[in-house]
Amino acid sequence: MNNFPIGLIALVVVSILIYFGVAHRVLDKLRMNDKSALAVIAAIIIGSFIDIPLTSRLTINLGGSIAVILALYVWLGAGTGFEKIRSFIAAVVTGLALYIAGRYMGATPEEIFIDPIYIYPLVAGIVGYLAGRSRRGSFFAAVMGVLSLDVTQYMYLTRSGLAGTVHVGGAGAFDSLILAGILAVLLAELIGESLERMQGGPVTEDRPPELIKNLREPEPVQKPMSNELKKESGEGDE
């Protein structure tokens, strides 16, 4: 992770945007406010330097774990059951896309034109958005898709008996988790906002009833008619 601090840099940039209120719309979609978002980001940054060894083959990074917990929180806060199911399927699709990318594009920088530390977040972010669609679904799919790579690798080492230690959410995987989640939400925000404007306004699919009510156009206010106007119009006559 020390060789690839891009994930930490991205978190600092996001923190600055949140501090200046730029990311307020996105936070609303993720069911978070400015203070809670900054607190979570601070916890992820601090936790990224803490590795917790569980077994000789498995080490968990605290920062990566917090990012995964955040993804689960976002998923649980989805508007409808349909959105939860779609997000879960999107995570599976993203994991399969990453597995295919790693298998056929190579796993080392010498085998492909771009380092895996960048290709995995790109694939996870794009596929996560295309499959998840909503901001919450995209974030959940991207983060859990990257996490599935670590889980798959651990299962492979355990069954094959090969030597090696899996750093769940740590090392380069930390940057992949963070970048994938940020990219997925960014795509959902930019493309989703554009589509909403093209369709003439915000869509109501998978959104809570109270939010939909606030998004509707207010009815025009009619001023009460005076007694004289009522008499002239005949409304006051029996």
Note the residue count of the chain.
Answer: 238
Q: What is the pLDDT of residues 147-174, one digit of tens each?
A: 988 888 888 888 887 877 888 877 666 7
Q: CA–CA separation, 119 vs 9, rounded Å?
A: 18
Residue with tokens 């295919």: 100
**pLDDT at residue 103, rounded to an integer:** 75
Phi, psi of 215 (to 5 degrees): -85, -15
Residue 108 has pLDDT above 70, yes or no: no
Domain limits, the chain = 6-202
Q: Cβ(86)–Cβ(197) under 8 Å?
A: no
CA-closest candidate to residue 70, choices 13, 136, 22: 136
Cα 105 from Cα 112, distance rounded (Å): 6
Give the predicted TM-score (pTM) of the model.
Answer: 0.73
> For the purposes of burial, counting CB atoms within 10 Å of the CB of 43, is it exposed (0-12), middle (13-18) or buried (19 or more)?
middle
Tell me: pLDDT of 217 over 50: no
- At residue 52, φ and ψ (nearest 5 deg) are -115, 105
Overall average pLDDT of the 124-152 stretch: 87
pLDDT tens digits along 69-92: 999 998 988 777 888 899 999 999
Q: Which pLDDT belongs to residue 89?
A: 92
Give me the percent of the chain exceeding a pLDDT of 70.
70
| Sequence-separated (6 or more) residues with CB below 8 Å from residue 33 | 27
What are the pLDDT digits (tens) for 13-30? 888 888 777 777 777 777
pLDDT at 106 exceeding the cut of 60: no
| Residue linked to tokens 């940039």 | 13
Q: Give me the chain's average pLDDT, please.
A: 76
Q: At what angle do helices 81-105 and 62-76 cross, to 10 degrees?
A: 140
CA 92 to the chain's CA centroid: 15
Most confident stretch, 47-51, 168-172, 209-213 = 47-51
